[in-house]
């Protein structure tokens, strides 16, 4: 054995030292050297201040070095100053932590370089070391446990004569007493304080007794510290080698770093003591309108303000102990609050609050209790940072988190409602037991499912995570009536569950206008009155929330302004989008607002909840004590995550098409050479247009300029590319895209353009400049004026008026937009979407596609597109390959419209450190475009400013930081280690932006380059058409569909056979029931993963040659499924079954044949009789089989229904005709 002892001996001595050191022993599991240096600094603090300061310096250096290693920070330097700078840059040093490190470093340096033996400084450095040690413990463990400093005793040392030092020691002892103060199990406040003083004195006495032994242990360990340090370095080296060769070790290292960053801010914040918690709770109660009183000063006759008459009495004794607060409302005892120091077990506190609430003590308390023989209903527990609440009035009552305490008037209302209906005493009870059967008449099946799903989910509290509010997600295809559905369940909750108020959140002002109109014009099913006649619907504005409002419609940004009291003026207040998220750095924070308390709403409905309003704006939603219902057509992964996977209703686009709620679409592709490959601008004089002013000038090119496909429409405008696409669109519009609309001159076969309406068409452009050029080309190619084609973007003047014109006027046929009409905005007559921009986001593309899917009545359609019949489909004209490229569930790279944010503002926010995730995405997109336009010389200049890092590399880092995949990896790692996922994502983003944030000259130069870049015009290149035609599934894909369809029939053969038989003329199944069964099958197969619509199945049969190709673009319906079912049940092509015939065609052919046979047999029908027969055939087309009950409904009811039919044909002939037609047309 060596002189210094074995590792086992060293560890034993360190463990013994840790047991003796009350202020540093807890660090032994983390870094043993910290115990040694901290205990040594404490031992020498009064006897040898100079040595103590040196030990304190060694403590700080060891701690910083250990954290640098754990955080895997490279290039952290070799000095303590450099290490601290690196830790600060990485985001570890919050609050006063950095100052404490530097205080210890500075005093230690003075002691090391001179005879610095000030006891005051040594004591302060020791306390700083203790605080750093506690901070480090919390950083590594996430603990919020209170660890109190036990000050050493300066008695019997020269330092005892230092009055200032004695005062600081006394202050530390007072802090120790406060840390030991607890009111639990104490009869009074005075007794609790006396017990705390006694506990503190016991610890101080024990520390004095151990002081000499501590000094001896330190002296015995001094020689071995170098060996302990060497062993620790060897451990670090082994870890680094493992991380370099073992992927699991590397992953664990990344996870540890993320966990440390996640804990850093909270670790720097000292947990609240029980005394501090009481002060915080007093403040929270006062803000909520409670009069806080001591038991000795109790006055229940206190008159409150508009927040109600509430008194919170401290330290009240109950039969099971002393409650921290008891709550009186209108002089009736209704609840209790249990306060705990931060970090205490709140679940145990809940049980304690329950004991107090269940057992009021004396006769006076029972007499004042709201219900004398029952427990108090309202139970709160809080540690000042987290507040929990449970109401026993709720069925299966469950604890939930609150932002703050409820106001007295809220509890008074709840008590009043409970007295009025004791069997359903709360909102959640009424949701469960007082909701009547749903009137299904005005609703579609999908809306019925959604209403029931939401009501059940909210009533049962589903979708909660931890102790949060219930969250319910409704996925409903565009055009299926999401807002009407929300109005329906909101009305039912207001009327039958007595909800106080509903908040309807939208993400754009124009969508808010639509929502207000939908609420106000809703006709109540139980009284046929308008919603607005019964309940006040308010659009939240500068006047604030009105007490009378029952529905409040708002953007989340406007709501944030109301909560925080920020009321912008001027243009910002009138922002058409109602959004100002980009002027607020970081995730927004809200404080308590007594005028809009957390209980203001009983239901939150978030429209278009696939957007990121619950990211940056999440705290606004979570301020409120109310269930959240999200509505969207296109949920992404983050949406499902936020709603805790609680999808209460799902209605896909395919199901909506199967039900006739939406129309199906087809794709027509136009491809050109320049679109696919780019082009070359020949040298010479070319037009150049300023990007911002659109002012045109001419410049000379000394050489040819090549441009790629991704620059078309952005940095280069190729006039011929636009002309080729638009010309092809016009030429093929009535021959291939909408061939059924084509009208020709009988003499020469030419199209009669003056007699045809161009289908309402929306063209998606890349940016506002691109949109301008497209408008000019469209007007030129079609030979039309301004009323025919218009730009509708945020930059356009009177864009809302032009949008209304596009929606309602027959003259305006084509609109060009960027993002303004891409989502949310309805233009129901749209029949054509022409994409001249790519879209990478699946959700965004589906939203854009949804603009064309809306249905409308024939009367409405005829007003804007007369003479073409009903809208049965829409067409996507794909001129950029958007339908062929893989889509992601993430947002598009550039997430802001051309209106919202400039490059200058983005760079400025990057430099200030206030740039947000969505803005980082947009900044990356802007810089990527700029990089494409840069010359080699400019790129070299940028690399000089970045220290050799290409701009492309910075861009890639930003793109990765905001990519859904990379962020999900970080979140997964965070969940595994118990960290806050969003905080770690933020750290990832900050790291990616740092090269820009740290280089103001780089930012300035990038902005100069951007302003110098103009749009070049290629007037020399001639484009050529490469492809133009309808996009159909290839034969192999169609065969897969047919094969899967046959497998489905085989798997459900009994049910399918019964369904087919139900449509036979001799079937006992009522025709209405048979049709309902067929429609259910159509809805079932339209759901994922099959996503089969009748149209898609029929197209697949056409592609494999088992059904005749359609001449006209007619849409197949659920009725056409019957022909396919019968074809397959007959054995299909393998057994020579005749090819399926579309239902309408089949009925018309059979009806015509039946009429011919009647005529040949000498039976002639009058015009009045033919009216009945023709309409019976039409009803059979619509309903597959004719039902005699239909004779009493439109259109037959207009001619006296069944009686009219019998009078027209005679009773005997009438019955014979009905039977014969049913047999002929249904067979």
- Residue 568 predicted with pLDDT over 60: no
Residue 703 or residue 131, greater confidence = 131
State the DSSP H helix or E strand holding residue 1099, giving kind and residue range, or none if neither: helix 1094-1103
Residue 934 lies in a domain: yes
Residue whose tokens read 């996503």: 1091
Q: How confident is the model at residue 554 (pLDDT cuts 50, 70, 90)?
A: very high
Rounded average pLDDT over 1109-1130 = 75
Would you state the torsion angle of the CA atoms of residues 916, 918, 919, 920, taken in this order, to the nearest 10 degrees?
80
Q: What is the CATH number of the domain that holds 468?
A: 3.40.50.300
On whether both 366 and 415 belong to a single domain, the answer is yes
- Residue 1119 predicted with pLDDT over 70: yes
On whether both 34 and 138 belong to a single domain, the answer is yes
Kindly state the percentage of the chain with pLDDT values over 90.
24
Cα-only R_g, the chain: 38
Q: Cα–Cα distance between 702 and 705 in angstroms, integer?
A: 9
926-983 tens-digit pLDDT: 787 777 767 777 888 888 888 788 888 888 888 888 876 677 777 777 766 667 777 7
On whether both 83 and 111 belong to a single domain, the answer is yes
Cβ count near 1150 (within 10 Å): 18
Residue 992 or residue 848, greater confidence = 992
Q: Where are the alpha helices (DSSP H) in 496-616?
A: 509-521, 531-534, 556-564, 613-616
Q: How confident is the model at residue 890 (pLDDT cuts 50, 70, 90)?
A: very low
Q: 1109 vs 1100, 1101, 1147, CA distance in Å?
A: 10, 9, 18
Token couple for 231: 């062993």
Nearest alpha carbon to residue 21 among 122, 133, 168, 100: 133
Q: Last residue of some domain: 1118, 1141, 1164?
A: 1141
Provide the pLDDT for residue 899. Answer: 37
Cβ count near 1148 (within 10 Å): 16
Residue 1154 lies in a domain: yes
- Residue 689 predicted with pLDDT over 70: no
Token couple for 323: 């409650």
Nearest alpha carbon to residue 464 among 528, 527, 400: 400
State the DSSP H helix or E strand holding residue 801, giving kind and residue range, or none if neither: helix 799-808
Best-predicted range by mean pLDDT (144-158, 324-338, 1020-1034, 1095-1109): 324-338
Provide the pLDDT for residue 570. Answer: 37
Token couple for 273: 């003591």
Provide the pLDDT for residue 693. Answer: 59
Residue 907 lies in a domain: yes
Q: Put residue 764 in one of left, alpha, beta given phi > 0 → left and psi -120 to 50 → alpha.
A: beta
Look at the chain and report how many structural domains it folds into. 7
Residue 182 lies in a domain: no
Q: Last residue of some domain: 1103, 1118, 1141?
A: 1141
| Complete DSSP assignment for 1109-1163 | PPSS-PPP-HHHHHHHHHHHHTTGGGGTPPPP--HHHHHHHHHHHHHHHHHHTT-
On whether both 695 and 787 belong to a single domain, the answer is yes
Rounded average pLDDT over 1037-1041 = 80
Angle at 622 between CA 617 and CA 623, to 5 degrees: 100
Contact between residue 1225 and residue 1177 where contact means Cβ atoms under 8 Å apart:
yes
Question: What does pLDDT average to over the chain?
Answer: 81
On whether both 1079 and 1133 belong to a single domain, the answer is yes
Provide the pLDDT for residue 896. Answer: 39
Provide the pLDDT for residue 569. Answer: 40
Residue 598 lies in a domain: yes
Q: Cα–Cα distance between 1142 and 1013 in angstroms, integer?
A: 58
Best-predicted range by mean pLDDT (33-47, 196-210, 681-695, 1156-1170): 1156-1170
**Beta strand ranges found along 306-411 (DSSP E):** 310-318, 321-329, 332-339, 378-382, 387-391, 400-402
Token couple for 1083: 């809805």
- Residue 1034 predicted with pLDDT over 80: no
Residue 745 lies in a domain: yes
On whether both 654 and 675 belong to a single domain, the answer is no
Contact between residue 897 and residue 576 where contact means Cβ atoms under 8 Å apart:
no
> Which residues, in sequence order, are CB contacts of 910 under 8 Å at separation 6+?
923, 993, 996, 997, 1003
Q: Where are the alpha helices (DSSP H) in 461-527?
A: 482-495, 509-521
On whether both 806 and 916 belong to a single domain, the answer is no
312-327 tens-digit pLDDT: 999 887 766 788 899 9
> Which residues, in sequence order, are CB contacts of 1104 under 8 Å at separation 6+?
1035, 1038, 1039, 1042
Question: Does residue 422 sit in helix, strand or coil?
Answer: coil
Q: Which of 22-31, 817-826, 886-895, 1048-1057 has the lowest mean pLDDT?
A: 886-895
DSSP state at residue 237: H
The b-or-e profile of 366-405 (16+ CB within 10 A means b, else e) is eebbbbeeebbbbbbbbbbeebbbbbbbbbebebbebbbb
Kindly state the percentage of the chain with pLDDT values over 70.
82
Q: Cα–Cα distance between 1215 and 247 in angstroms, integer?
A: 82
992-1011 tens-digit pLDDT: 888 888 888 888 888 777 76
Q: Last residue of some domain: 390, 423, 456?
A: 423
Q: Cα–Cα distance between 493 and 567 in angstroms, integer?
A: 32
Helices 1143-1160, 1118-1129: axis angle to 10 degrees equals 80
| Complete DSSP assignment for 128-166 | HHHHHHHHHHHHHH---------PPP-TTSGGGG-HHHH
1071-1101 tens-digit pLDDT: 778 888 888 888 778 765 667 878 888 888 8
Pairing of strands 696-701, 664-672: unpaired
Residue 190 lies in a domain: no
In the chain, what are the helix, strand and coil shares in percent, each to the nearest 5? 55, 15, 35
Rounded average pLDDT over 254-258 = 70
Provide the pLDDT for residue 897. Answer: 37
Domain that holds residue 1156: 1146-1226
Residue 789 or residue 803, greater confidence = 789
Backbone angles phi, psi at 854, to 5 degrees: -65, 145
On whether both 498 and 631 belong to a single domain, the answer is yes
Q: Put residue 425 in one of left, alpha, beta given phi > 0 → left and psi -120 to 50 → alpha.
A: alpha
Pairing of strands 684-689, 387-391: unpaired
758-801 tens-digit pLDDT: 999 999 888 888 888 899 999 999 999 999 999 988 766 677 78
- Residue 831 predicted with pLDDT over 60: yes
Q: What is the CATH number of the domain that holds 753?
A: 3.40.50
Cα torsion 756, 760, 765, 768: sign: positive
On whether both 568 and 698 belong to a single domain, the answer is no
**Beta strand ranges found along 673-804 (DSSP E):** 679-681, 684-689, 696-701, 705-707, 716-718, 761-764, 789-791
Provide the pLDDT for residue 688. Answer: 67
On whether both 603 and 571 belong to a single domain, the answer is yes
Beta bridge partners of 650: 475
Residue 888 lies in a domain: no
359-408 tens-digit pLDDT: 766 667 778 889 888 899 999 999 988 899 999 999 999 999 999 999 99
Contact between residue 851 and residue 800 where contact means Cβ atoms under 8 Å apart:
no
On whether both 1129 and 1155 belong to a single domain, the answer is no
- Residue 340 predicted with pLDDT over 70: yes
State the DSSP H helix or E strand holding residue 554, giving kind and residue range, or none if neither: strand 549-555
On whether both 940 and 1043 belong to a single domain, the answer is no
Provide the pLDDT for residue 702. Answer: 66
Residue 1032 burial (10 A CB sphere; 0-12, 13-18, 19+)? middle
Q: How confident is the model at residue 699 (pLDDT cuts 50, 70, 90)?
A: low
> Which residues, in sequence order, are CB contacts of 6 under 8 Å at separation 6+?
none
Nearest alpha carbon to residue 531 among 482, 499, 490: 490
Provide the pLDDT for residue 1089. Answer: 63
Residue whose tokens read 């898609």: 1096
Q: Cα–Cα distance between 694 and 715 in angstroms, integer?
A: 13
Angle at 340 between CA 339 and CA 343, to 5 degrees: 150
Q: How confident is the model at residue 652 (pLDDT cuts 50, 70, 90)?
A: confident
Provide the pLDDT for residue 1127. Answer: 86
């Amino acid at each position: 054995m060596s002189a210094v002892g074995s590792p086992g001996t060293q560890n034993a001595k360190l463990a013994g030292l840790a047991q003796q050191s009350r202020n540093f022993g807890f660090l032994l599991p983390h870094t043993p050297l910290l115990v040694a240096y901290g205990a040594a600094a404490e031992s020498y603090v009064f006897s040898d201040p100079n040595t103590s300061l040196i030990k304190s310096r060694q403590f700080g250096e060891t701690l910083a070095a250990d954290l640098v290693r754990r955080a895997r920070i490279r290039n952290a330097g070799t000095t303590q100053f450099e290490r601290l700078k690196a830790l600060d840059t990485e985001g570890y040093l919050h609050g006063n932590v950095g100052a404490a490190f530097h205080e210890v470093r500075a005093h230690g340096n003075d002691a090391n370089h001179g005879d610095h033996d000030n006891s005051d400084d040594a004591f302060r450095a020791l306390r700083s070391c203790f605080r750093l040690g506690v901070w480090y413990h919390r950083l590594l463990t996430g603990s919020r446990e209170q660890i109190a400093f036990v000050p050493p005793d300066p008695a019997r040392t020269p330092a005892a004569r230092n009055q200032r030092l004695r005062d600081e020691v006394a202050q530390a002892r007072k802090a120790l007493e406060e840390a030991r103060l607890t009111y639990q199990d104490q009869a009074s406040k005075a007794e609790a304080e006396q017990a705390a003083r006694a506990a503190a004195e016991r610890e101080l006495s024990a520390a004095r007794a151990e002081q000499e032994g501590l000094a001896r242990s330190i002296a015995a360990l001094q020689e071995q510290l170098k060996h302990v340090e060497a062993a620790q370095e060897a451990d670090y080296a082994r870890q680094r080698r493992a991380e370099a060769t073992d992927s699991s070790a590397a992953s664990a290292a990344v996870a540890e770093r993320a966990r440390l960053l996640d804990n850093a801010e909270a670790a720097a914040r000292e947990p609240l003591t029980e005394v501090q918690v009481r002060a915080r709770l007093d403040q929270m109660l006062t803000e909520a309108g409670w009069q806080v009183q001591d038991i000795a000063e109790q006055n229940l006759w206190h008159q409150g303000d508009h927040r109600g008459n509430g008194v919170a009495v401290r330290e009240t004794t109950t039969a099971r102990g002393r409650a921290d607060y008891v709550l009186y409302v209108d002089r009736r005892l209704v609840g209790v609050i249990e306060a705990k120091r931060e970090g205490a077990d709140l679940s145990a506190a809940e049980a304690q609050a329950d004991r107090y609430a269940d057992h009021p003590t004396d006769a006076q308390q029972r007499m004042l209790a709201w219900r004398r023989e029952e427990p108090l209903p309202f139970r709160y527990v809080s540690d000042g940072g987290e507040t929990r609440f449970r109401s026993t009035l709720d069925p299966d009552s469950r604890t939930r988190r609150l932002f703050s305490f409820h106001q007295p008037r809220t509890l008074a209302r709840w008590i009043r409602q409970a007295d009025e209906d004791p069997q359903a005493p709360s909102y959640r009870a009424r949701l469960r037991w007082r909701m009547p059967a749903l009137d299904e008449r005005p609703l579609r099946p999908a809306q019925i499912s959604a209403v029931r799903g939401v009501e059940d989910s909210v009533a049962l509290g589903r979708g909660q995570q931890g102790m949060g509010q219930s969250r319910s997600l409704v996925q409903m295809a565009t055009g299926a009536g999401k807002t009407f559905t929300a109005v329906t369940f909101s009305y039912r909750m207001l009327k039958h569950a007595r909800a106080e108020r509903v908040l309807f959140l939208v993400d754009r002002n124009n969508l808010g206008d639509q929502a207000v109109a939908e609420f106000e014009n809703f006709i109540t099913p139980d009284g046929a009155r308008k919603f607005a006649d019964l309940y006040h619907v308010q659009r939240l504005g500068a006047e604030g929330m009105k007490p009378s409002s029952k529905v409040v419609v708002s953007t989340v940004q406007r709501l944030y302004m109301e909560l925080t009291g920020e009321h912008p003026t001027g243009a910002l207040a009138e922002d058409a989008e109602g959004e100002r998220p980009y002027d607020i750095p970081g995730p927004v924070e809200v404080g308590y607002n007594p005028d809009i308390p957390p209980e203001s709403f009983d239901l939150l409905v978030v429209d278009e909840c696939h957007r990121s309003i619950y990211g940056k704006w999440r705290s606004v939603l979570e301020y409120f004590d109310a269930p959240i219902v999200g509505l969207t057509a296109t949920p992404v992964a983050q949406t499902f995550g936020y709603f805790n996977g609680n999808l209460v209703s799902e209605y896909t686009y395919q199901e909506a098409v199967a039900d006739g709620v939406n129309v199906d679409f087809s794709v027509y592709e136009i491809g050109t050479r320049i679109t696919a490959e780019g082009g070359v601008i020949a040298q010479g004089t070319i037009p150049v247009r300023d990007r911002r002013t659109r002012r045109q000038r001419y410049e000379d090119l000394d050489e040819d300029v090549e441009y790629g496909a991704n620059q078309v429409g952005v940095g280069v405008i190729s006039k011929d590319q636009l002309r080729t696409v638009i010309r092809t669109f016009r030429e093929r519009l009535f021959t291939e895209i909408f061939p059924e609309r084509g009208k020709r001159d009988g003499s020469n076969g030419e199209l009669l353009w003056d007699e045809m309406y161009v289908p309402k068409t929306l063209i998606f452009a890349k940016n506002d400049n691109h949109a301008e050029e497209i408008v000019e080309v469209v007007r030129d190619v079609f030979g039309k004026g301004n009323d025919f084609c218009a730009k509708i973007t945020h930059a356009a003047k009177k864009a809302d008026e032009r949008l209304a014109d596009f929606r309602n006027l027959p003259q305006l046929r084509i609109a060009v937009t960027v993002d303004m009409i891409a989502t949310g905005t309805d233009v129901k007559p749209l029949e054509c979407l022409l994409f001249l921009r790519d879209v990478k986001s699946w959700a965004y593309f589906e939203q854009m596609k949804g603009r064309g899917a809306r249905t409308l009545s024939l009367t409405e359609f005829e007003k804007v597109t007369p003479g073409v019949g009903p809208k049965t489909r829409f067409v996507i004209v794909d001129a950029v390959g958007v339908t062929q490229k893989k889509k992601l569930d993430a947002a598009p790279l550039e997430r802001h419209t051309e209106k919202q944010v400039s490059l200058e503002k983005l760079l400025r926010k990057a430099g200030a450190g206030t740039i947000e995730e969505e803005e980082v995405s947009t900044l990356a997109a802007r810089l990527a475009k700029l990089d494409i336009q840069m010359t080699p010389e400019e790129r070299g200049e940028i690399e000089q400013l970045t220290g050799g890092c290409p701009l492309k590399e910075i861009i890639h880092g930003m793109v990765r930081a905001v990519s859904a995949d990379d962020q999900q990896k970080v979140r997964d790692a965070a969940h595994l280690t118990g960290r806050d996922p969003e905080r770690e994502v933020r750290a990832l983003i900050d790291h990616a932006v740092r090269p820009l944030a740290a280089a103001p000259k780089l930012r300035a130069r990038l902005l100069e380059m951007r302003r110098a870049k103009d749009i070049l015009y290629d007037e020399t290149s001639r484009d050529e058409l490469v492809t133009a035609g309808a996009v159909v599934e290839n034969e192999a894909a169609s065969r897969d569909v047919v094969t899967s369809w046959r497998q489905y029939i085989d798997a459900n053969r009994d049910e399918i056979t019964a369904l087919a038989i139900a449509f036979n003329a001799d079937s006992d199944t009522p025709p209405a029931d048979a049709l309902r069964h067929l429609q259910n099958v159509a809805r079932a197969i339209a759901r994922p993963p099959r996503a089969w619509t009748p149209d898609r199945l029929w197209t697949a049969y056409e592609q494999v040659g088992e059904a005749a190709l359609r001449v006209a673009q007619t849409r197949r319906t659920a009725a056409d499924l019957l022909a396919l079912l019968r074809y397959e049940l007959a054995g299909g092509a393998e057994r020579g079954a005749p090819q399926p015939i579309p239902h309408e065609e089949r009925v018309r052919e059979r009806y015509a044949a039946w009429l011919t046979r009647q005529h040949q047999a000498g039976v002639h029908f009058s015009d009045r009789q033919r009216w009945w027969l023709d309409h019976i055939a039409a009803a059979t087309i619509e309903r597959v089989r004719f039902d005699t009950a239909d004779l009493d409904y439109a259109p037959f009811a207009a001619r006296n229904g069944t009686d009219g039919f019998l009078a027209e044909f005679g009773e005997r002939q009438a019955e014979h005709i009905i039977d014969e037609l049913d047999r002929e047309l249904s067979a």
